[in-house]
């Protein structure tokens, strides 16, 4: 059975604080490690009052320090916001502190609005330099050569695993060309999922890092002991999505007991389309959904993200998701024995 991983935005809930969000993220990572999740990734977003992980490499270090075996990394670092050298130094530092556990997922989008993107990196080279920046970053992780003027210290020779993240065909093509693992953001951008996977696998060129294609797909998960409770918890993510979509970002709102009139039919249609890769329900419901999702996409790994207002409910959701995964593994093994 393929591995499952966790993508965390370190959400700030209404009435809480970034400090509490970081404690919650660490607690989730520790539980995820105990439950058998493969990776714990954090994402870079800026100027968003509902997301605490803007200084992504710092939060990764905090999570890595509080865990033992789970891989930690970025899902992702938005490379247009940074110089490749600085990213190499940051992740070279993390790899030196937590050897063999660090992943560097790279995204092409700025992870912010235009004004914030300008404040982050004022030279405005933008996403058009993304392929060149990735190649430059790769060089910094290779062993330093005699006479090399600029080195990443630490970083040189550490070969930190680089991933390309994407929600379009561009990232799939680049990951294939460079022979890097590819993660698709289907949890919020579902349209090109199947085409991107096919394109990546068909055009993949082996590299020193990776001999054959490796695809990770993302999904939202909101699991609870009953379908009804899961649907109630899911309304926090639905509200947050609509608020962001219409330019009103803020802390994650509490769930709604009666969401029938919370948004218009047009807004509901947007939610249903954009968040269609979401497993919402009890363990059996989530297990059935995950089986269909895996059968459809045939991934090498699944990464789950879960925006849930109550931290204990979020822990329970990821626990249920792993229980569902383990049941699928048992069924798969049994089917193999019978064959």
How far apart are alpha carbons 124 and 300 in whole angstroms?
35
- Residue-wise pLDDT tens digits, 94-140: 999 999 999 999 999 865 667 777 777 656 655 578 999 999 999 99
- Rounded distance between C-alpha atoms, residue 82 and residue 89, angstroms: 11
Nearest alpha-carbon partner for 48 in 312, 330, 278, 307? 307
List of domains in the chain: 4-338 (3.20.20.30)
Give strand ranges (E) for the chain: 4-8, 39-42, 71-78, 102-107, 162-166, 182-184, 215-223, 278-281, 301-305
pLDDT in tens, 21-55: 999 999 999 999 999 999 999 999 998 999 999 99
Q: Which residues contact 268 (CB under 8 A, 6 or more apart)?
A: none
Task: Locate 86 and state its tokens.
Answer: 């600085």
Q: Rounded to whole angstroms, what are the CA distances from 121 to 104, 126, 140, 245?
A: 20, 9, 20, 24
Q: Token pair for residue 155?
A: 């970083």
Cα–Cα distance for residue pair 303/318, rounded to 1 Å: 11
Q: What are φ and ψ of residue 131, in 5° steps?
A: -60, -45
Nearest-5° angle of CA 63, CA 66, CA 69?
Answer: 90
pLDDT, average across residues 223-239? 97
- pLDDT category at 263 given cuts 50, 70, 90 is confident
SS (H, E, C) 216-261: EEEEEEEECCCHHHHHHHHHHHHHHHHHHHCCCCCCECCCCCCHHH
**In this predicted structure, what is the pLDDT of residue 116?**
75
Model confidence at 78: pLDDT above 60: yes
pTM value is 0.95
| Distance of alpha carbon 288 from alpha carbon 328, whole angstroms | 9
Q: Which two tokens stand for residue 87?
A: 């990213």
Cβ–Cβ < 8 Å for 318, 230: no
């Amino acid at each position: 059975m393929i591995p499952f991983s966790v993508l965390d935005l370190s959400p700030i809930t209404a009435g809480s604080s970034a400090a509490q969000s970081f404690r919650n993220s660490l607690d989730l990572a520790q539980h995820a490690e105990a439950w058998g999740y493969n990776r714990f990734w954090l994402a870079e977003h800026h100027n968003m009052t509902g997301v605490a992980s803007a200084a992504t490499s710092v939060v990764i270090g905090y999570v890595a320090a509080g865990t033992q075996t789970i891989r930690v990394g970025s899902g992702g670092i938005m490379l247009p916001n940074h110089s490749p050298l600085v990213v190499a130094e940051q992740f070279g530092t993390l790899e030196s502190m937590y050897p063999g556990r660090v992943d560097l997922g790279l995204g092409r989008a700025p992870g912010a609005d235009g004004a914030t993107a300008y404040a982050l990196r004022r030279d405005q080279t933008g996403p058009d330099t993304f392929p060149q920046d990735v190649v430059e970053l790769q060089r910094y992780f290779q062993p330093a050569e005699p006479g090399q003027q600029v080195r990443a210290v630490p970083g040189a020779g550490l070969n930190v695993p680089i991933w390309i993240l994407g929600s379009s065909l561009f990232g799939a093509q680049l990951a294939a060309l460079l022979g890097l693992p590819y993660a698709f953001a289907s949890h919020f951008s579902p349209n090109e999922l199947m085409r991107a996977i096919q394109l990546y696998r068909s055009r993949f060129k082996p590299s020193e890092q990776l001999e054959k294609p490796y695809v990770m797909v993302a999904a939202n998960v909101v699991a609870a002991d009953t379908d009804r409770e899961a649907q109630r918890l899911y309304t926090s993510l639905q509200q947050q999505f609509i608020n962001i979509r219409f330019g009103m970002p803020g802390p994650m709102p509490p769930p709604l007991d009666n969401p029938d009139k919370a948004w218009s039919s047009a807004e509901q249609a947007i939610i249903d389309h954009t968040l269609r890769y979401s497993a919402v329900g009890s363990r059996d419901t989530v297990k059935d959904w995950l089986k269909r999702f895996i059968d459809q996409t045939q991934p090498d790994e699944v990464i789950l993200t879960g925006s849930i207002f109550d931290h204990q409910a979020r822990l329970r959701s990821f626990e249920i998701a792993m229980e569902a995964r383990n049941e699928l593994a048992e069924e798969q093994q049994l089917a193999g024995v019978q064959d």
